[in-house]
Amino acid sequence: MLIAYHGEESIKTKYLNRVLAHLAADEIIHGTYWERGKGCAVGCTVHSSSHGAFETELGIPIMLARLEDRIFEGLRNGVSKEFPARFLTCIPVGADLSRVGWQFLHWLLTEELVKRDDPRIANQVKACADVLVPLLKGEPVDQKAALVARDAARKAAREIRAAAAAAAAFSSARSKAFERMADKLIELMSQAPVPERAARAAA
């Protein structure tokens, strides 16, 4: 089982100190993975563009690395620079993060999605959220329901793009939405369970 920081406090310290050094040197930037000592959340953590390195080097699921990447790029500049350190700091050593990504996506669909009460997309959003419920419990997905949700997601995406294009305050709303997403991801990761064996090893 993949556990955060492979159950070793020294790994967390190494990567957190690396990110904090980049923060202090103002080397955390948008739009570039890793180039000439500067980069985004992913680049300044693993010194490459490899989301997969989060699993091999830090014991953090690739799904969470991709979420960190996307949220970082959507945050305002001042807020985004501090996000990589917040991301690493909140994760308990030895935590099982396997369900966090699904918990986040379920929250995004059921509580955060803009225009979620719009009748044009309500049913599509519900179909997508329902597919995630088994994953929250560590159970397999219903494949038939997943296919229905895939089609529903495509329809919902078209409606959301149309609504966003017409929104006068979209830029401001988008920025605030990414801040809420950052806070929620931090909350879920900080609450991830630490298996007893990993907790003993990290003690």
Per-residue pLDDT of 31-75, as tens digits, reads 999 999 999 999 999 999 999 999 999 999 999 999 999 999 999
Q: Which of 129, 127, 124, 135 is nearest to 107 (CA)?
A: 129
Q: Supply the pLDDT for residue 168.
A: 45
Q: Which pair of structure tokens corresponds to residue 186?
A: 């931090």
How many whole angstroms separate alpha carbon 142 and alpha carbon 134?
8
Mean confidence (pLDDT) of the chain = 85
pLDDT tens digits for range 170-183: 566 778 889 999 99
pLDDT tens digits for range 12-33: 999 999 999 999 999 999 999 9
Q: Supply the pLDDT for residue 193.
A: 95
